Chain A
Amino acid sequence: MSEDPSKSNEPIKLIDPHVHMSARTTDDYERMAASGVVALIEPAFWLGQPRTTVGAYMDYLSSLVGFERFRASQFGIHHYCTVGLNSKEANNEELAEAVMEILPLYLQKEGVVALGEIGYDDQTELEDRYLRKQIELAKEFDMVIMIHTPHRDKKRGTSRTMDVLKEHGVDPAKVAIDHNNEETVKEVLDRGFWAAFTLYPNTKMGNERMVEIVREYGSEKIFIDSAADWGVSDPLAVSKTFRLMNERGITKADIEQVCYHNALSCYGQSGQINEEDWLNPLPVDQRNLFHGNSVLRGGQTPRVDEDSLIIE
């Protein structure tokens, strides 16, 4: 077994590049910060029940670039987000049209690192239409795209999404395909996309399986996230998997690629997320959310207060 990086003096740095913090409590922020999370990305998604007006959608997007950013900052976590029309709500045509009108207002806000999460849910005609329209919008604004792959009929849905991206001439290096599993990973990597994995109990990946995927496919273009939201989910999934990979003999370099560097490389293409943000924070003044407090200051000891590392 390699040396446990969680026991070393150098603080653990983790990024959770997909987590719906609006649905989580301050306890979660506290625990995530304590476990080493320095930055996270909150993709715009649905709220568990559909919105019926564009106003509700705007308020949600405003909170992602506004209050939620501030809330995270109070726990020393840098909050970034993605903006887009999700596949479920794309099925309400009237709402979808209105959301497409207002999306450009949000795409260039500070901390918006991608257009997403977009993709298929039931793979309907309307989902297809708004996926394509948003791909074009991302091209117009030169943005990274975060793809949500469907829960049902995943393998075909994932292939189809990549076909559509190719058809629209998108550079795969600027696309993260999320919610992968053993069935989808090979094609995603072979076609040059970033492959993200969601450690989410029961419905998506478990982290023991994740360890084996990293063992088999390496760490070059793979990263992991929790996608924790309003369902039974685990905002510590990245840090638990970090430790599990370490226990099971994945190299330190591979672990750091998968839990930190790759997400940064992928979304860093936006110019909106940068290591400097947390390694060299700006000095104190009222314009800054972070008041000069480096989250890594003072030899912080990362910890996870959980008995079991395993997510099934």
Chain B
Amino acid sequence: MAFESTSALALLESWLASRLSADAQEWYNKKRADLGSDREFFLAFALVPRNLGKADLELTDQERSACTDWDPSNWTVDQAARIALLLAGPDQSFIARLEKLCATGDVGEQITLYQALILYQNPASLTQRAAEGLRSNVVPVFEAVAHRNPYPQRYFDDAAWNQMVLKALFIGSSLHPIQGLDERANEPLAATLIDSAHERWAAGREVNPELWRCVGPFINTNRLEDVKRALESDNPLSQEAARLALAASNLPEAKMLLEATEDKVLSWEEIHQALRHV
């Protein structure tokens, strides 16, 4: 289900209503009633954290269930209020305001804006904006687009998707929080990732075990050698990742290779968690 911007606004405001103090709610209502002028809007947007705080939303399971594949479980009060103010303004001002906010945003504002892409009107038209977020050198901004965000899965073409996955690995971010990672796996991505693994091996660097997740379904006879290399590496997480990749392959040789290994397979989530705690 795609969110209509109006229903997203209603949802955000209902969450705020049950969390804001009376004073904070009054401040919000006052700003919400005066969104016609750009100056007032930009000031209100900037002032949200000071007036409403930055507490976690901590959504209940019931609230969370209204969100389908949109995952706001990490959202905070200020983020919800900022997006609500952006959505509540005049429709014709929306794009210009979004662009200006992105161009002038501080780190917190940029994270907020990018993680809400899915809630905006006509999200399919915002792929360039999303790609700009991925170009950021600020890792949390990159992750606001890439992680816990259904936008890339729904709206990116393969080229943009593949760049995102490759960059996530390149900057030392993780793959597991990318939504649709398995569904959007594709042959050119697998080829690029194998190339990048070769580059890293040539340079004597570690290959992130998560890389093999996007390779598994596309293992062919050539790539089997590469997976084998991961299987035989010193890193137990790489060995586990290689087993998972083999398990995702239909290639008979892959199945044979898998059967010859120990019968212990972690999940990708467990590998992700283990990597985060290294």
Contact = CB atoms under 8 A, between A and B. Distances in A.
Interface of A: 58, 61-62, 65-67, 69-70, 102, 104-111, 271, 285-289
A100 to B, nearest CB: 13
Given A67-B137, A70-B107, A287-B108, A109 B46 contact: yes
A287 B111 contact: yes
B82 to A, nearest CB: 12
Contacts of A69: 106-107
Contact of A108 (B47, B110, B147): B47
B147 to A, nearest CB: 6
B106 A66 contact: yes
Given A69-B106, A70-B138, A289-B107, 11 more contacts: A58-B103, A66-B106, A66-B110, A66-B138, A67-B137, A70-B137, A104-B39, A109-B106, A109-B109, A286-B140, A289-B140
Contacts of B147: 286
Q: Shortest 5 CB-CB distances between A and B: which pairs?
A: A108-B46, A65-B106, A70-B138, A109-B106, A286-B143
A65 B107 contact: yes
Given A286-B74, A288-B140, A110 B107 contact: yes
Interface string B60-76: 00000000000000101
Nearest to B108: A110
Contacts of A111: 106
B105 interface: yes
Contacts of A287: 74, 76, 79, 108, 111, 140
A287 B110 CA distance: 10
B50 interface: yes
Contacts of B42: 104-105
B177 to A, nearest CB: 8
A102 B103 CA distance: 12
Most buried by A among B39, B104, B110, B137: B104
Contacts of B49: 110
A289 B137 CA distance: 13
B106 to A, nearest CB: 4
Interface string B130-149: 00000011111001100110
Nearest to A102: B104
Which of the four size classes fits the interface of chain B?
20 to 34
A105 B107 contact: no
A286 B141 CA distance: 9
B107 A66 contact: yes
Contacts of A289: 107, 140
Nearest to B146: A286
B1 interface: no
Contacts of A104: 39, 42-43
Nearest to A112: B106
A69 B109 CA distance: 13
B42 to A, nearest CB: 6
Nearest to A74: B139
A70 B140 contact: yes
B9 to A, nearest CB: 22
Given A286-B144, A289-B140, A271 B50 contact: yes
Contacts of B74: 285-287
A140 B148 CA distance: 39
Nearest to B138: A70
Nearest to A285: B74
A105 B46 CA distance: 8
B4 to A, nearest CB: 26
Contacts of B43: 104, 108
Interface string B97-116: 00010011111111100000
Nearest to B43: A108
Nearest to B100: A105
Contacts of B50: 108, 271
A277 to B, nearest CB: 12
Contacts of B46: 105, 107-109
A106 B140 contact: no
Nearest to B39: A104
Most buried by A among B50, B76, B108: B108
Contacts of B39: 104
B240 to A, nearest CB: 23
Most buried by A among B76, B106, B148: B106
24 contacts: A58-B103, A61-B104, A62-B105, A65-B106, A66-B106, A66-B110, A67-B138, A69-B106, A69-B107, A70-B139, A102-B104, A104-B43, A105-B46, A105-B100, A109-B46, A109-B106, A286-B74, A286-B111, A286-B140, A286-B143, A287-B74, A287-B140, A289-B107, A289-B140
Contacts of A102: 104
A69 B103 CA distance: 16
A66 B105 contact: yes
A106 B47 CA distance: 11
A105 B74 CA distance: 27
Nearest to A271: B50
A106 B107 contact: no
Contacts of A70: 107, 137-140
Contacts of A105: 42, 46, 100, 104
Contacts of A107: 46
B160 to A, nearest CB: 20
A240 B124 CA distance: 55
A188 to B, nearest CB: 30
Most buried by A among B42, B47, B79, B148: B42
